[in-house]
Structure 1
Amino acid sequence: MIFRKKQRTQPEAELPAQHVEQPEVGTKTTLSFHPDWQLSPEETYVYRFYHEQLPPLQPNQISISGVKLVEYNDGFVAVAMLRNTLPKPVRFERIRLLLLGEDGTAIARKEFDMSAFGELPPMTARPWRFLFAAEDKLVDQLPKGGWKVAFELPPQHRLELEESWEQSLSVEQRQQLQALVDSVPPPARGEVNFMGIEAKQLPSGELAVTLLIRNGSDQQIRFEQIPLEVRDHAGDIVARGLFACHLEVKAHTSKPWTFLFPPELLRKAEPDWTSWKVAIPSPPAQSERQETQSSEE
C-alpha cells in the first residue's frame, strides 16, 4: 500500500478589515437665516461650517447649541444655533438660557425676549446672538472652549410648610394642600402672589383668612409686614389690614398661612362668599389721600 505524503495546506489569506460606514442615526436640519440678517459670503460660509459640525437630532426635538463667545464691553455675546425637528414651525416668546463650563459649572444665566427671532420653520436651524450683560455673568473669566448652552426650565413649584403646620396638619390635609398646589398653574417667573384658600368667620368676631403665598422668583423672599385686602363676590371690600410677621418663602414654593382680621378691620357685615379674592391693596389715589388728610384735620 502506497502512502502518499500529506501535503501541508496553505493557510487562508486574511482579508483586510474593511470599514463599513454606518448611516447616521437622527435627523439633519437645513440652515435658515433670519430675513433681517445681512451676511457676507465669508460669514455665511462660517455659519454653514458650524451647522455641519452639529450632531443629528432625533425627530420632534427643539435644541440649542453653542457656537462661540465674543466679549463685548463688560459682558459678552453668545452665538448659538437653535434647531427644530418638529413637523411644524416654532415661535418662541421668552427663553431662559444657562451657560455651562466644561466641568458643568454655571457661568452665565439670562432670560431673553425672542419676539424679534420670528418663526423657526420645521427641520431647520437658525443662528442667533444673545447679549449677556456683566450682571448676568456668574464667573469672572469666560472659558476659552468646552462651554455649553442649555434651555433652563423653571424648577417644579412645590408646597412648603412651616414646622408648626407640619406638626398640626393631618396626612389628609397635607395631601389636599399638595393637590391644590399641583392643580393650579405656577406663578410666572419672578412673580409673587396670594391665592385664597379659606375665609371663615370665627365666634370671636374675627375673620380668619387662609392663603397660599406663592413665590415664583429664583430667590427666597422675606416678609416683615404684609398689607392685605379681602373682597367678596360683589367686589366689595370685606376687610383690610396690615400684618406684622416674620415670614420666609423659599424660591418656587407656595406656603400656606392664616391671617386673623380683628372685628374693627371688617368693613362689610354680610359678605357674599360665593367667590372672593385677596390681594395687596393699591396705594390710595392722590385725591383719596387729600380727602383723608382733610377729614382728619
Structure 2
Amino acid sequence: MISNDNLIESNTILEKEAVNIVLHLNEYDKGVMSDFQKELIMEELNELPPLEDGQVCINGIYTFDMEDKIEVSVYIRNGSSKQINFHKVPLLIVNKNDDILASQTMDMKDFGILPPFCARPYKVYFDKINLLVDVITNDDWKIQFGKSVSTVNTVKTKFEGFPGDDHHELEGTFTKFLNKLPLIKAGDVNIEVFKTLRCVDDSISIVFMIRNGCDTIVKLETLPIVIKDEDGEIVAGGVFDIENVNVNPHKAKIYDFTITEDYIVNKDADINNCKVYFRM
C-alpha cells in the first residue's frame, strides 16, 4: 500500500475529469517482469492521486539507503497527449512542510520515451553528499520535479535503408550506429557523421546519416559542409548541390558524399582528427 504522505503534490483536480493512465514498461522490464509483479504495479498506480489532463507527474514510493546513495523508487506519469522523455532533470525530496531534504540533477536519458497517458516505474539515486539531513524518515517525504524541469517531445527514428544499392551489407552496422544516437526532438532534422576518409585522389568521402523528426518528408537540394581540424582551421568546405536526398517521416537514411579536390584548402590535414559541420 502507498501512503499519500509519500506522493508528489499535484494541482487540485476539482471539476476537471482525471485522465486514464495505463502502464508502459521498457523493453527490459517487459522481458523479466512477471504477471504478478505487473498486477502489483497496477495496484500501486491505481492508488496514486488522479492526474489532470496535460500534467506530467513524479510519485515517490519508497527510499532505500545504499550507504553512499539513497535509492528512490518512483512512478513517472504522462497525462499529456504527447510522448515525452527527459534529459537533465532537477529533483527534490521534501517533507510535509516543504523543507528540502535532498536536491540533485539527474541524468534521465535512459528513461526513454513515455507515450501519452502512460506511466512507468523508475529508480533515481541521490548521492549522500546532496542530502541535507542525516535520515529521510519513511512517513515524511515526497519527491518532486525542480522548477526548471522540462520535458522533451522526441522521436525515435527507424533506419529505412539506403539511397541506392550501396552499403546493404552494412545495414546492421548502420542500425547499431542509429540506436546509439540520442533521440531527436520532434520536428527537427539531424545529420550525424558515420565516417570520413581521404580517398586516393585526395578527395574526402563523408558517410553521414540524416534523421527526420518531422511528420513530413524532408528533401534537401543543397547542403553546406565545413571540415575543420583540431585547431578550428578550415580544411574543406562549401555549399554543395545534392540530388535525390529525401528522408521519410520519423526515418533515418545513410548518404555518401564526396568533396572534390577543388573545395579542399588543406590537403595535408589528418582527416581522422577533423570534425564535420553541416553549416557555414
TM-score tier, shorter chain, comes to: 0.3 to 0.5
**Larger RCO of the pair (alpha carbons < 8 Å, separation 6+):** 2
- Greater Cα radius of gyration, structure 1 or 2: 1
Q: What TM-score comes out, normalization by structure 1 length?
A: 0.42
Q: What TM-score comes out, normalization by structure 2 length?
A: 0.45
